[in-house]
Every structure is written in structure tokens, then in C-alpha cells.
Chain A
């Protein structure tokens, strides 16, 4: 196991895509220390910014990060196997393009966490920023698979262009949840702000709390007693099921818990 702690408080973003189990694998400690990263516009080595130690007796997790990493971007980018634990806050783009393995954040995580990921698991035991599990600006290839769980709240534009995989949010979600999503599942245990599912054409969004306002381009389909989250787990309803986004000829589904959404009672007359 490699343990990394910051040597100082960073004032500018540090780009450290090399902090990844794949990159470290098979490299001696001295070589790891010399990997190059950037701090602002300066190119430095990992050793310049962090204290790095190795404990050969522990195999998993492969990397433990301890301290404030909220300014450190791209931790675990493109990782295929292995495990990273971050004891502290993680910065933007954590686990971007993850293709396997596991990243656990015992703190908050920045924007674009799990962006464009394909496989693997990201656990965030805190809040996560805007654009979590959403692709880079302008890109229309979203998360394709894997699981992201967030214990806290998430920001806006989470799960945009989602093509597969599961996002479980134990707190509340911001605006534009699942914008343009094509497939996959988003499960929010608390409330959700306006414009959830805007432009969605497939997949499902399950809201156990209150939806602030439903888009007018969604139409009521039915009331269901329960809904499947994944192969092993169901969410207990009853749920109002809405179909949309009609403006995009979409067949996505929003499941809103009946008990917490009395405002949707009016829709029942259209059933």
C-alpha cells in the first residue's frame, strides 16, 4: 500500500492523474515519487507536493490518501483495477473514465466525479459536486456502467447523458438531474430540485422525496407499488410513474413516491 499525504495546503489546482493503482503497479517507490504532476502552471514531481510512504505488508487498498485533497484533480483517472481510499475531501474529476476497481472517498468529492466512467465502484461518504457522473462539457457520451453511491447531497446536472450504471444518492439532488439521460438508473432518497429528467429519452429516475417541480413535458403513465433499483433491490412505493421527455420523443421514466408528492394528486384524474 502506498500512503500519500499533502506536504502543504494547495492554493491552486493540482492535476494528478498519475495517482492511480494502474500507474503505481509494479513501480518501485523511488519511481513513483518522480511521476510528474502540475501545480497551477508549474510541472513538479509527486514528491515535491506529497509525502509518500510504502507499506509492503498491506495489499488492499493499493493507495491511501490522507488529508485535504480538495484541490487535487483527476485522482484515479482511467483506472482499470485496484482500490484507492481517500480519507479527506477529493477534488474534481475523481475517478473520471474509471474502467474498473474501486474508489472510496471518506469526505466530500468535487465536480465531475465519476465522469464518463465505464465500470467499477465509487463510494462517497459525503457530498458530491455538480456534474457528478456527467460527461465533460459539450460531450454527449455519459457514464456507461458501474455504480456510484453518495451518502450526502449532490449538486446540479448529475447523471447527464447517463447511458448505463446506477447512481444512488442518499441525500438530495440539485437541478437538471439526469439531463438528456438515455439509460441507467438514478435513485434519490431525499428531495430533488426542478427540471429532473429534462430531455431524457430512456432510463429511470426514482425519487423517494419531493420533486420541486415536474417538467411539463412529462405525462403520467400509471401508479406502481414498487420499482426495481438493481437486480437485488426494490424501492417500496406506491410511485407515480411519469413518461418523458415528450419534447424529445423520449420513453424515460420518473418514479415519484406518492406519499411525499401530494402535489401530483391532480395527475390521477388523467389515469
Chain B
């Protein structure tokens, strides 16, 4: 079968006499990878870089004639992020956590990440204006405000982190269930989640709400996660999923304390197998000395207390969000860490439909993104899983369900959880597949699917996934034999959500900006010149 490419798109056929031909016979060809959740840019990422000189010194990247110098390890510098993604055959990455106030910073960093298309999700679950309107029951006005915010921050989706918890954190508190009250708002996390899901539908957003659950990282939290998914059942209209729970591994803990910590993967997987209104990504732990970063400030505080008072960053982003950063070393010999690793894989193997879950490490929280090939190996090879499990904490080995799981992913299923499924969940119609009309983002790996038993010879296959034979971005060869050969800038996708009438921007709103924000209303939105290569996607809202 031949794949013809012309002007950056996949077409039916081209004139072969003057076309450049790549002979990919005996190799594996996939659409370019689409990552649904990876913290690659923004204020929290950069703060993480600042507190970790010890992380960079381990991984210094020299410049070449074509590429720039930089550093890794867990939080690579901007250019290195682009190069490493491209070497793995990834061409699109979603930056899932952008505080609206820090959107300009995030876009400036995204501009400097070459070779991949990207988009950001704005943190909106604890934004005062949204909370006020949900509390009032005026979801239409809430939707119009969110459309204004999505446009104003040049973002792609609604991100909700520990709904209600971030607002509570401003008062040194947190919420611990879906029905705890958020201080000063007469609201519960349940109201925020269902309200936002309805708003998301009203706005005809291509992606669902992108949700980081309450109680993340707390033993026994799988119950909250199931409650969250149940709460969304009422909003489901029966066609496409209406919610995406991100890094669900961190929300699938059972047991009542760290001493009795165990996996809640079975319950979560059973629920997902029986329902169609949710998608999830995993946030797989890869056993790395990494840097955790999230907008969930109270969770990072708990981690600080738990992890022996390591250096950390904690912040309350005015009226919108919060944040925290702590270096964390996931170790095989640590029972909790090893069980977390097992939970991620149990979920991956027990959720039957690969279109419902996607592969991520929640870079850099579970492990840096360039560890993806390791995760692939654990998915497609039982032998690889066993080899790692053998090195894990004995207590964790006993508790793990992995020895009972025989499933081994095929290359097709792997393609779904890394590109086709993610592109579908994100509503990216022209990505994640190789059909006519798709963007010509192609990755070719040095794996012969006909002669290789990938489950048995997992090591060379894992290596091939980390070192693409070719990566093609918009029809241009950017990686050849794992070397960067061209460095086009990627596009930044953003949504221009057009509502039937604009949101009310009255004197009251401007007064609030003056009183509660450190940025003036007029300086707040991201303007066009902040984005080097924009790709505006216009959508019509139903309000």
C-alpha cells in the first residue's frame, strides 16, 4: 500500500515520476503521535526548571549544526522538548494546564518548541466568574464567559483541576468529596463538574472537559473517581463522551492509608467497561527521578509532608487556580511507588476498549515523556512487565494483579492509544490517521510487523519506538534515522468560540479585575502577536 503526500496533506495519489519516494517496506508506519496530556510549557514548567539545576546537570544536550543546545532531564528545555518528541515520532502535543493569568508566558514557551503542533487547556474549574455563574444557575452566561476566556487565552479546552479544592486552598483548606462546600460560593465540586460539562456541550467544544479529580493522590480515592464519573452520567446524551479524566492512575488508589495502600484499578476498569460517557488517560509511573507539578496546590502540600520535606514551590494563582512543584523519585523498591506502577498497567490492560483510554505518563509527573517506549513495551509484552515486576518491592509484587493479566497489545491497539484515540478524543479530525485529507504527519519505525514477535523481542522494538526511522511533519521529513534533519516550527492551535451574543463585560467585571487581579482587564487577553504560528479553529456555540 502506498501513502501519497502533497502540500502537507495526505492525498489519493501523486505523480510518482517527480515525487520523493520513501521505501517503508518491512517497517511500521503510523500517523504522527498525538499526546493528550503533557506539561511542556508554562509557568509551572519553568518554575520546575528553576528549582532543579540538579536535574539539568545529569542531561546536557549539545548543539549541532541544526539543533540548539539545551538540557533535560525531567523538564527538558523548550527546544529539546520538540526534538525528543519528534525523535519518538510524535507530532502533536497538548499542554494541559495553563493558568489564564500565565497564558502569555505559556505561549511564549510554546513558540520555542519546534517540530510539534501544540495547544493548551485553560484552568477554568476554579475561576471566580465561572463559579459565580454556576452558583447562580446561569450556565448560558457561564458558557459565554468561558468562550471569552478560551479566546482570550488562545486555548483549546476546559481544564478542571480538583474542582473547588483550588479555591479552598486560597484559605488553607481543601475539599474531600464531591459534596463538600467550596468556601464563599454555595457550591460543591459536583455542581462545578456537571455545570462545566453542560457548558462544554453548549459551546460545541471539540474536546470534552479535561478533569483532574478531587482527592487525587489520596488512598481510597477510587470511590471519589467513580462518584465523579457517576455524576456525569446525567449529562451524557448518548453520542460522544462528555468527560475525560486525566492521569487516572493517581485517582485509582484503594486502601484506607499509605500502610494499607492497594490498587483500585479493577473497580475503575469495570466501571469504564460498562459505561461509554468517559475517556481517560493513565499517567503511568516509569520509575524516574522526576519533578511533579500540578495546579493542585493542596495535593502538592500533602506530597511535601509525605516525601520528607524536599524543596518545593507552592502558589495560589489569584482568583483562578493554585499550583505546586516537588521533585519526586519513584523507586521500584518503594511499595507505594511500585503499586502505582502496577495500577497504571492494570488499568491499561483491564479497560477492554482501547478507544476509551490513552497512554500518557502525565509528563513529568509519572515520568518524562521520552520514557514512553518503556510504557509501550510493558503494554505489548508480558515478558517486559514480568522483568520489571521482578525488580519491584516484594509487598507490591504480592498485591499486583499483573501476573493474572495476559493481554498483550498489538501494534494496531498501540496506534489507537497513542494517536488515533487521542486525536478522536481531542476532536482533531485531520490527525491520528493516514486517510485522504489527513495532515501529513507520519512516523515510521524500524519494526517489521510481519517477521517480528514484538512481545518476545521487546527490547529492540522498544528501542525502535524511541528512535524513529522517519518522522514526517506536514509532509516534510524532520527526522531520519533518529537524527533531526529539519526544524520547522509547529503550529499553536486555538479555538475561536463564537457565541450568539457576547458575554457581559460591564463595569462590575472591570471593577472586580481592578480589585482582585494584579493584571488590568485591558492587558489580560493574549493578543495575536504572542503566537508565532497560530492555527485558529472557529467553532459555533449553541448559546
Contact = CB atoms under 8 A, between A and B. Distances in A.
Label chain A's interface by main secondary structure.
loop
B309 A136 contact: no
A138 B55 CA distance: 8
Interface size range on B against A: under 10
B161 to A, nearest CB: 27
A140 B52 contact: no
B54 interface: yes
Interface string B20-58: 000000000000000000000000000000011111010
Contact of A136 (B57, B310, B311): B57
B309 A138 contact: no
A137 to B, nearest CB: 5
Interface residues of A, number: 7
Contacts of B53: 136-139
Contact of B309 (A137, A139, A248): A248
A55 B310 CA distance: 50
A140 B51 contact: no
Interface in A130-144: 135-140
Interface in A245-269: 248
A229 to B, nearest CB: 29
A105 B52 CA distance: 32
Label chain B's interface by main secondary structure.
loop
Interface in A201-257: 248
B260 to A, nearest CB: 26
A143 to B, nearest CB: 15
A82 to B, nearest CB: 25
A15 B129 CA distance: 56
A176 to B, nearest CB: 16
A185 to B, nearest CB: 23
A248 B309 CA distance: 9
Contacts of B54: 135-140
Contacts of B55: 138
Contacts of A135: 54
B381 to A, nearest CB: 34
Contacts of A139: 53-54, 57
A136 B53 CA distance: 8
B409 to A, nearest CB: 38
A140 B57 CA distance: 13
A138 B310 contact: no
Nearest to A248: B309
Nearest to B50: A138
B309 to A, nearest CB: 7
A140 B309 contact: no
Interface string B48-75: 0001111101000000000000000000
Nearest to A137: B53
A180 B341 CA distance: 32
Interface string B270-304: 00000000000000000000000000000000000
A216 B19 CA distance: 77
The 7 closest A-B pairs by CB, nearest first: A139-B54, A138-B54, A138-B53, A137-B53, A136-B57, A138-B52, A136-B54
9 contacts: A138-B51, A138-B52, A138-B53, A138-B54, A138-B55, A138-B311, A139-B54, A140-B54, A140-B311
Given A137-B53, A138-B51, 7 more contacts: A136-B53, A137-B54, A138-B54, A139-B54, A140-B54, A140-B310, A248-B309
